[in-house]
């Protein structure tokens, strides 16, 4: 049996042997999406496409090439926005499966089943219904966080980092919106890595952190639903212990770029340093993320807009500034067990060299 430190260090170098990506080199964009009008929303993060319909891509003879180019674009730009999508939750699920596969996810990774998803839920296990009405009843993912803090920024997170094999991509379509408000923000983990000094970056590259979602046990009790303890999309994600150890800096296999991978929602402790040091380091990294609006993009939803983002190298934060109903469907696929490839580069370094 490897010790915890041995296991963590093997993950830093090469990832868990059962959940390594199927690609060993970054993927190359073929240009197939250039035919669609698009706009980068900030220099660092976010791209919006016009006239691109997920439903049409699924029917296209060029389907897999378009989907792979979309995966590369999402991983490069962090998040992509597609307006007014005419697509069913089942089509979204199929699209998410192709997207993660064509981006090189390990064979053992499928779509995630959230530990709070009810057995026999309306749209199937792999679709999470995001709903402000449900949340009022105590079912929201960030309910507890927004309850205890007066800072809207308390809700910054990356999806399901408490799983040993966390998410590569999430896809969210919002179909019910308040009159105004309910924007979502994303921030770039590549850019936050680029704001570290080389000394600080190499120190953090030697460390792992513990991610913990034990608060879902209370949430499940409150809702009266048992927590999902079976396999949640990967054979490595099961049981009731909702904790995982991941490198603080990870490599995104699709771009080959390094990103900071700790988040306010789930990361409790940087390992191998004292609790006080861990608190200071985490607070510093969270400040870099929340206080740099030039590393963020803020999206104003219209009905049936869709966002697809890379959870390995971005964070996101919903805004709870409205009283009416807001609801949508989310699908979340699983990628590789996080790892750091010491040969990989930072985003700015790669772009400067290009
Ligand atoms: O409601 C939102 O805008 C985002 C919710 C969220 O965190 C997610 O879908 O992962
Ligand atoms: Fe989320």
CA distances in angstroms from 63 to 58, 94, 106, 173, listed in the order given: 6, 12, 21, 21
Distance CA 79, CA 250 (A): 18
DSSP 24: S
**Beta strands 38-40; 47-49: pairing state:** antiparallel
Distance CA 211, CA 267 (A): 4
Q: Which atom of ligand 1 is nearest to the CA of 170?
A: 10
- Answer yes or no: is the C-beta of 159 below 6 A from any ligand 1 atom: yes
DSSP string covering 77-121, please?
Answer: HSEEEE-S----HHHHHHHHHHHHHHTT--TT--B---TTPPTT-
Nearest to 158 by CA among 67, 70, 59, 79: 79
What range defines the domain where residue 73 resides? 4-353
Nearest to 346 by CA among 143, 168, 197, 127: 197
DSSP 209: E
Do the Cβ atoms of 333 and 106 come closer than 8 Å? Answer: no
Ligand 1 centroid from CA 116, angstroms? 15
- Answer yes or no: is the C-beta of 155 below 6 A from any ligand 1 atom: no
- Ligand 1: which of 184, 297, 327 to mutate, judged by most atoms within 8 Å of the beta carbon? 184
Number of domains in the chain: 1
∠ CA 97-102-103, rounded to 5°: 100
Ligand 1 centroid from CA 306, angstroms? 11
The one-digit pLDDT tens for each residue of the chain (354 residues) are: 445 555 555 555 556 788 999 999 999 999 999 999 999 999 999 999 999 999 999 999 999 999 999 999 999 999 999 999 999 999 999 999 999 999 999 999 999 999 988 887 778 888 888 888 877 665 444 445 545 678 999 999 999 999 999 999 999 999 999 999 999 999 999 999 999 999 999 999 999 999 999 999 988 888 888 888 889 999 999 999 999 999 999 999 999 999 999 999 999 999 999 999 999 999 999 999 999 999 999 999 999 999 999 999 999 999 999 999 999 999 999 999 999 999 999 999 999 998
Ligand 1 centroid from CA 318, angstroms? 6
Distance CA 103, CA 98 (A): 8
Distance CA 101, CA 89 (A): 18
Closest protein CA for atom 5 of ligand 1: 318
DSSP 345: B
Ligand 1 centroid from CA 44, angstroms? 21
Phi, psi of 315, deg, nearest 5: -120, 165
- Answer yes or no: is the C-beta of 305 below 6 A from any ligand 1 atom: no
- CATH code of the domain containing 76: 3.60.130.10
């Amino acid at each position: 049996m490897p010790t915890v430190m041995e296991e963590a260090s093997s993950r830093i170098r090469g990832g868990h042997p059962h959940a390594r990506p199927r690609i060993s080199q970054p993927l190359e964009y073929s240009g197939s999406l250039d035919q669609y009008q698009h706009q980068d929303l900030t220099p660092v993060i976010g791209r919006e496409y016009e006239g691109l319909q997920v439903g049409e891509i699924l029917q296209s003879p060029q389907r897999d090439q378009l989907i792979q180019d979309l995966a590369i674009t999402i991983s490069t730009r962090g998040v992509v926005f597609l307006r007014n999508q005419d697509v069913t939750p089942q089509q979204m699920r199929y699209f998410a499966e192709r997207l993660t596969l064509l981006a090189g996810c390990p064979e053992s990774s499928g779509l995630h089943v959230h530990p709070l998803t009810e057995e026999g839920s309306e749209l199937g296990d792999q679709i999470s219904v995001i709903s402000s009405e449900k949340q009022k009843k105590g079912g929201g993912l960030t309910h507890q966080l927004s309850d205890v803090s007066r800072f809207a920024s308390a809700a910054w997170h990356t999806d399901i980092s408490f799983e040993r094999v966390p998410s590569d991509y999430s896809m969210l379509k919002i179909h019910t919106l308040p009159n105004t408000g309910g924007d979502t923000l994303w921030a770039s983990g590549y850019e936050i890595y680029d704001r570290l000094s080389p000394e600080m970056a190499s120190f953090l590259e030697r460390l792992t952190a513990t991610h913990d979602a034990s608060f879902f046990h209370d949430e499940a009790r409150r809702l009266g639903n048992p927590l999902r303890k079976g396999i949640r999309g990967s054979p490595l994600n099961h049981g009731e212990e909702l904790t995982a150890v991941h490198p603080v800096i990870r490599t995104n296999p699709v771009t080959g770029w390094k990103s900071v991978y700790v988040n306010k929602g789930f990361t409790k402790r940087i390992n191998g340093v004292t609790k006080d040091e861990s608190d200071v380091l985490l607070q510093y990294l969270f400040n870099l993320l929340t206080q740099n609006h030039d590393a963020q993009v803020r999206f104003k939803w219209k009905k049936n807009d869709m966002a697809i983002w890379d959870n390995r190298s971005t964070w996101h934060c919903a805004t709870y500034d409205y009283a009416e109903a807001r609801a949508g469907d989310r699908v979340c696929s699983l990628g590789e067990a996080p790892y750091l490839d010491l040969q990989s580069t930072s985003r700015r370094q790669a772009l400067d060299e290009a």
